[in-house]
Each structure stands twice: as structure tokens, then as C-alpha cells.
Structure 1
Amino acid sequence: MNNNLNKKAIVILSGGMDSTLSSYIAKTDGYELIAVHFNYGQRTQNKELKAFRDICKELNVVNKYEIDIPFFTQIGANALTDLNIDVPTNGLEDGVPITYVPFRNGIFLSIATAVAEKEGATAMYIGVVQEDSSGYPDCTDSFIGSISKAINEGTKEDTKIEIITPLVHLSKSQIVQKAIELSVPLELTWSCYKEEHEACGVCDSCRLRLNGFTQANSIDPIKYKEF
């Protein structure tokens, strides 16, 4: 861990449980954190931004970026940024769900790369979860490996960035257990796709989160409408 002292890492921090745990792991790994958050027209944008700011305060992150990406609402085609498409509440879908935002993580990582190159960061942490990702194609180990190669080919020769995915092979219950172990303030995080005041409890993200807490024999500290 000492070899990372004084080195910088970008943490892509949505304010959700996974990205928050990933950020805490980055801090535990000894990096100086630079937090990057994206407002992309998602239904819970205001709540996620508040979560980001609250978590940055807990982590004592001084250097942070709040980046607006308005075009996701323009292209639509997903339930998170297109208000004409309902967020599913009947359980996880087969295949790629309608909550998948086209190439979102690829775009996030590309923008974060520009920030990393500017800041001289050598690592980027992202909380993707392959086994529990609802079928999103941009949450896989294979995708991360491919985009990692691309960003290092497309940046300056002296820019060397490692994409670190500490949660990629964990289940939601393991994520909950790890978050508790690291004293992550889970009460500040937000996962719901639909609501900004009390979590709906029935969207895919809420179901995965609640199931993780149940399997970890723990109680989720955020408020739910249905529970």
C-alpha cells in the first residue's frame, strides 16, 4: 500500500453503494482521490448529486468534478433518461434491460481519462459489478480490459492509467459486507432508479440492493416506500 502514497486516482462516484465502496477501497489503497460525478439527465439526478457531495465530504475529497452530459436525454432509448419509458418494477428482465443507458460507462471512462491525464492520475476506480449488473454490457471484465487498452493507446506516451474494478466479481451481499467492514456511510448512498425522497423498493436497482442486504443479514439504512 505504501507504494501508492502520493499517487492520484480518479474515482467515478455516482453516489450509489457500489461506486462509494469502490472509492473507499481506493482510499484504503493509499491513493489521493479525485472524485468525478456525472449529471446525465437521470431521473434521480438531484439525489445522486447530493449523495456524491455528502460522500466526498466524508472522504475528505477536495478535488472533485461535477460534469454535465446532457445528450443522454436527447438520445433517450432508456428508462433512466427518457421519462416516456417506465422504469420496470416487475423484477429483473432477460437480456439487456431498458434501464441500460447506451455505452454510459464507456463515455464516463473516456471523460474520466481526460481528467486523469490532466491531473496526472495513474489509476481510475469504477464500481462495475459483472455478476450482479442486471445484464449491462459495459459492466464486464472483458469490456474494461478492452477500453483500458484503448485509453492507454489514445493518451500521451507518458500517461499510464490502470482501470481498477475492485467489485467486478463480487455479489451484492459481498459488497454490503465489504462496505460494513470499511465503515462506508451506506445511509448517504442512493441506488433507486425512480425516486429521490424514499427509495421505491421495486426497481431493479432497489431489488438488487435489498437482496444484498438480506443475504448479508444486515438492514439497509436508507428509507423505502414499500418497506
Structure 2
Amino acid sequence: MNKKAVCIISGGMDSALSAKMAQKEGYEIIALHFNYGQRTQTKELECFRKIAKDIGAKKSYEVDLGFFEQIGASALTDMSIDIPTGGVEEGVPVTYVPFRNGIFLSIAAAVAEKHAAEALFIGVVEEDSSGYPDCRESYIEQMQKAINMGTKEETDLEIKMPLVALKKSEIVQRSLDLGVPLKDTWSCYQDEVKACGVCDSCRLRLRGFEKAGVKDPIAYQ
């Protein structure tokens, strides 16, 4: 029987690489995407579908989580809060969505249990991330313990974070090495046609490509 992995895929570069690594490790892929009212929801979904096809996902889930808009408190889901474009903020950025990864991992665990998957891949990056508390390795490790305590005895899920210690330039390079379709990934927080180039996520991405010495294949304003 094939070993199975649930891959959380946002449509961004990090999760695309994480899923490609799962494929290279020989896992049968169950692709999982969340629509949570984020500004670039349509574009991210389009990218997810292309990535899932590229990695030959055996099953895909597109889960709608409308309650994130009700909760608000993030510039990604509350249109009255501006996306910062001035560079690094102090503390946790306003683009942080409250407990997003915790909620994503909980749903992913349910999907993994259904399919008897043994691994769950998430593309969190600690060192080069935007200061989100739910991207820390120590937090994900605790979630793994909690998930295995709260599921059936035969469920023994490992949450894999293959990018957690990488820099963005290393992610770009590894993506190129493994043939990740970077043209089909999206990082911009606020625009869906052409990336803005000035939000935190665009800055991180552009800096990564620059340090890797290659040109980003997506269009910028």
C-alpha cells in the first residue's frame, strides 16, 4: 500500500516546494487548500490547482472557511485594514491571521485520518517568515503531539516542515532544482493580476530571487 501524505498548499512558493518534496519522497499526495476570504483568494486557488496537477495529487480538497472574515483582525481578511507596504514592522504583522495554521492543521489532521495518511506537509518557514507565531517549529511540534493524542490509536501522524530552517533564496534554488513551476505560484498579499512588489510577502519573495541570482517568472506592477 502506498504511503500517503496530506499537503497543505496555499498556492505560494513555499507550500509548492514542500508538496514537491513530498512527491519526491514517494508519497501519494492528498492536496489541501483553504479559501478563507483572503484578498488574493481567486489567484491562490488557481495556483493551487496547477500545483496539485503538477505533483500528480490523487485527491484534492478545496475547503471554504468563511468564518475568518467574520473574525477579521487581519489585513488579509479585513478590507478596512491596509496591507503594509513600508517594509519590516515591529512585532507580529497586521497580515497575521489569528491562529490560521492551527486551524489549518486541525482540518488537515481530519483529512489525514480519513485517508490513513502517515504524514502531513506544511511549508512553514521560521527564519525568513514574517514573524508569525504559528510558523514556529516548536509550535508545529506541539500541534503534532496534540493531534496524535486526539485521534484514533492507529493514527500516527508526522507533521513535516521541510523548509522550516531555509532562507528564501534557498527555497528559490531548491524549487528550481526540483522543477517546481514557480510561474504558477503567488505570494502577493493584495493583488491578483500583477504582484504589487511592495507588500512584505512580495519583498521577501523578490529578495529571495535576487539572492539566488535568478529572475522571478511572475509579473509585477
TM-score by length of 1: 0.96
Q: Which residue of 2 aligns with 1:147?
A: 143
Q: 1:50, CA displacement in angstroms?
A: 0.3
- Pick from 194, 198, 208 the counterpart of residue 198 of structure 1: 194
1:56 to 2:52 alignment: yes
- Pick from 159, 168, 180 the counterpart of residue 172 of structure 1: 168
Within 1, Cα distance between the matches of 2:58 and 2:149?
30
Q: Which residue of 2 aligns with 1:94?
A: 90
- The C-alpha deviation readout for 1:143-168, integer Å capped at 9, x for no partner, is 01110100000000010000000000
Question: Which letter maps to 2:31?
Answer: A
Q: Which residue of 2 aligns with 1:115?
A: 111
Q: 1:206, CA displacement in angstroms?
A: 0.2
Within 2, Cα distance between the matches of 1:131 and 1:69?
28
Within 2, Cα distance between the matches of 1:77 and 1:208?
23
Q: 1:91, CA displacement in angstroms?
A: 0.4
- Pick from 38, 41, 48 the counterpart of residue 45 of structure 1: 41
Within 2, Cα distance between the matches of 1:94 and 1:175?
25
- Pick from 211, 216, 219 the counterpart of residue 207 of structure 2: 211
Q: 1:18, CA displacement in angstroms?
A: 0.1
1:186 to 2:182 alignment: yes
Q: 1:140, CA displacement in angstroms?
A: 0.5
- Pick from 76, 80, 83 the counterpart of residue 79 of structure 2: 83
Within 2, Cα distance between the matches of 1:16 and 1:206?
11
Q: Which residue of 1 aligns with 2:132?
A: 136
- The C-alpha deviation readout for 1:6-44, integer Å capped at 9, x for no partner, is 100000000100000000000001100000000000000
Q: Secondary structure at the match of 2:104?
A: helix
Question: Which letter maps to 2:59?
Answer: N
Within 2, Cα distance between the matches of 1:149 and 1:62?
27
Question: Which letter maps to 2:39?
Answer: R
- The C-alpha deviation readout for 1:202-224, integer Å capped at 9, x for no partner, is 00000000000000001000000
1:70 to 2:66 alignment: yes
Within 1, Cα distance between the matches of 2:126 and 2:54?
27
How many residue pairs are counted as aligned between the two chains?
221
- The C-alpha deviation readout for 1:124-179, integer Å capped at 9, x for no partner, is 00000000111000000110111010000000001000000000000000000000
Question: Which letter maps to 1:118?
Answer: K
- Pick from 19, 24, 31 the counterpart of residue 28 of structure 1: 24
Q: Secondary structure at the match of 1:132?
A: coil
Question: Which letter maps to 1:168?
Answer: V
Q: 1:62, CA displacement in angstroms?
A: 3.1
Q: Secondary structure at the match of 2:61?
A: strand
Q: 1:58, CA displacement in angstroms?
A: 1.5
Within 2, Cα distance between the matches of 1:71 and 1:93?
26
Within 1, Cα distance between the matches of 2:91 and 2:144?
25
Mapped contact 2:5–2:27 kept (Cα < 8 A): yes
Within 1, Cα distance between the matches of 2:117 and 2:147?
13
Structure 1: runs of 5+ lacking an equivalent:
none
CA RMSD of aligned residues (A): 0.7
Mapped contact 2:183–2:217 kept (Cα < 8 A): yes
Q: Percent identity?
A: 64
